[in-house]
Structure 1
């Protein structure tokens, strides 16, 4: 028996799967502890159900995920609109060093993945999906770059990427705290006494500006403008250079320019809360669709290679944090806390990094510098380095 779901029914199912994932995260401590995203929980469970039903020759379900690209574009554009150049100056030299380290992570993650792909007789681009696209890029990067690679005729790219991203997310949550604790204890590090009484700013005292229909429509206008122009520019760039530039990359960089033009002229047309809400909803639906539609039967013979590659990536990340990143960032308490965060988002996602650092600072003391640098780099600036590196690898091995 075959069931073909339409675009509308697939969208409804994606939202339902997302809501189910949110419910499970609230009920199951393990999922909440390791910051497993709701779309991953619900989407993978649905994919497993489809796999079982297909394997038992009961029902074969096909989905119309044509809206997936739109939600992907909305999410990455919302990230771009959230990036103000003025934030760069607040982190200073440490922010730049940390940012460059993240670029190095992307290069070496891709190199490790491609080299191990040869060992397991996989296509280099299949192996690449167990590198920076899925680890430093997280589930969003895995789904986005996986879609680009599959469009080039490489099978199972999304499936491999999402599997690697999930394994990396769990590993980042498990290893980040112990790495920071090891560094703090070994070097007997303490937080800077001058910041112990500076825990919070007073900026949140003002009443929140209400989110209205007009405000939401204004943000949707900004998002769709950036998407439209970004898609056009990506197409022109690819035609002129024969260098594949995904649409969402062009949209994101247009959004960065638009945001900083707005900041430059001090026009009150951008609202961070509204854009963040739209971006969060878009990411949830986009990932739900991506995870729902993965075909697990295609990855059965790739399970061992993916697991081995991710394990090697975890070992690399831990060693890099302890012996390289910690030293480059000053070998102090802030550097140790940042290594817990770097392990989290280098293998998984920025929320993973924040969760790691929260646990560390609750036990050992505050680190405002870490909580400034990690979100700025992990949530956006890392994309400015890791995305061109990944795109370069894709074009080289295509």
Structure 2
């Protein structure tokens, strides 16, 4: 059997090749585009299947150096920390806060359900937890980041479970959102009238809502990159301090420091964090980190929990559907805008923010555009929920691994 060892440069290079192949396939296969499957996942699963065949045929074994995977993972979650702006949350208003609260409650319930079913089916609770908000609300990025922590505790197959769960979530979230909103509109006999967004300040304040074309330059990228690295540096000491009391992922400290720097920046003109450049670096680091996580996927370990995994994943889809139908819809005002937001919540509560936006767009294409929904959902889904989700997951991991 041939043993191929790759150093850290070769590993990240292969991840880039996988990413390019994934992007190519996504543009040409409608299924991938429809369900917003990330390019690293498409190419990564293809490589993982080839790797499985080669291994099972006793032809080739790959060994990878994951040094840069850890670096890009920390870079990604530190960038998320820079999204946690208290000022932006207040500007967003009551509906943003209500939607965030509903999203956080679902995160907690997803983890309680996962652990509970894990105990009931004899699945290790840490493995089961990976099918909760880690993979559902968190998506592939959070799933790939949390899985190694479980594997370090001696549970093989954690990464395969987490990635499979996240992929299921993307498909389920995209499939269920539109029908749920349609059912709400018909069953509740909702008047198809959309509210106007009262507060336009966010659109002028955050590039996320600003359609103006900005010229990017090297100096801004350098400053943004240096600020992220600074947060990672200081945050590493924060993580060391926190781990004296509870076991947290290594990137928790950098996330906290990044959030602090963001909120200091919001209240001073002394320094600019270059948010647009931070978001671009966030996207790049996520793709590279996820690409490296995918090529190290061990599909042969998935068979150990196949039966329990089906139960766990179907239960998550059922939970999300009922919670959003009965709770999120009511939280958000029980009107047409609430129905559209409910479709969005299904999308990112089981998959990712792009899935939520796609769900809302499909509902609005049939009925009427909802300004409130497209105002509220991106603020929570793209800027806030990941920060709270990772903090909550870390708490569950710390409790279960004691």
Tell whether the 8 Å contact from 1:25 to 1:38 is kept in structure 2 after alignment. yes
Does 1:214 pair with 2:219?
yes
Q: Quick check: 1:225 aligned with 2:230?
A: yes
1:192 aligned onto 2:197: no
CA shift in 2, pair 1:333/1:212, >3 Å? same
Residue in 1 that maps onto 2:169: 168
Is this contact kept in 2: 1:91–1:369, CA < 8 A? Answer: no
> 2: CA distance between counterparts of 1:393 and 1:204?
37
Give CA-to-partner distance per residue, 1:268-290, whole Å, 9 cap, x none. Answer: 52222211111111100100111
Deviation, 1:134, is: 1.0
Structure-2 separation of matches of 1:232 and 1:147: 21
- Find the partner of 2:390 among 380, 387, 392: 387
Secondary structure at 2:93's aligned position in 1?
A: helix
Cα distance in 2 for residues equivalent to 1:324 and 1:73? 34
Deviation at 1:266, TM superposition (A): 2.1
How many angstroms apart in 2 are the aligned matches of 1:120 and 1:3?
38
Aligned residue number for residue 23 of structure 1: 24
| Matched length | 393
Alignment of 1:1-398 (within 5 A): 1-186=2-187, 187-192=189-194, 204=210, 208=214, 210-239=215-244, 241=245, 243-267=246-270, 269-398=272-401
Shift of 1:395: 1.9
**Structure 1 Cα separation of the partners of residues 212 and 302 of structure 2:** 52
Hey, what's the Cα distance between the residues in 2 that align with 1:282 and 1:255?
Answer: 16
1:218-243 CA deviation, whole Å, 9 max, x = no partner?
Answer: 1111010011111110111111x1x1
- Mapped to 1, the partners of 2:343 and 2:374 lie a distance apart of 11
Q: Distance in 2 between matches of 1:396 and 1:250?
A: 18
> How much does 1:201 deviate?
6.9
CA distance in 2, matches of 1:189, 1:80: 39
Partners of 2:351 and 2:211 lie apart in 1 by 33
SS of the residue aligned with 2:349?
Answer: helix
* Aligned-pair CA distance for 1:188: 2.7
CA distance in 1, matches of 2:310, 2:221: 43
Q: How far apart, in 1, do the equivalents of 2:125 and 2:249 lie? A: 19
Q: CA deviation at 1:97?
A: 1.8
2: CA distance, partners of 1:105 / 1:366: 26
Which contiguous aligned blocks of 4+ residues in structure 1 show a shift greater than 6 angstroms?
200-203
The CA RMSD measured in Å over matched residues stands at 2.0
Give the Cα–Cα distance (whole angstroms) in 2 for the partners of residues 287 and 193 of structure 1: 38
Q: TM-score, normalised by structure 1?
A: 0.94
> Which stretch of structure 1 is more off in the superposition, 335-344 or 59-68?
59-68
1:365 offset after TM fit, Å?
1.4
Question: Cα–Cα, structure 1 residues 310 and 73, in superposed 2: closer, same or farther, change >3 Å?
Answer: same
CA–CA separation in structure 2 for the residues paired with 1:207 and 1:158: 39
Tell me the distance in 2 between the aligned counterparts of 1:81 and 1:264: 14
TM-score normalised by L of structure 2 = 0.93
Alpha carbons of structure 1 residues 380 and 248: separation in structure 2 relative to 1, 3 Å:
farther
Q: Relative to structure 1, is the Cα distance of residues 100 and 389 closer, same or farther in structure 2, using a 3 angstrom cutoff?
A: same
Structure 1: distance between partners of 2:307 and 2:363 = 33
Shift of residue 298, structure 1, vs aligned partner? 0.8
Cα distance in 2, alignment partners of residues 384 and 346 from structure 1: 14
Indicate conservation of the 8 Å contact 1:3/1:59, yes or no.
yes
Q: Name the CA distance, whole Å, in 1 between partners of 2:72 and 2:391.
A: 22
Q: 3-state DSSP class of the match of 1:247?
A: coil
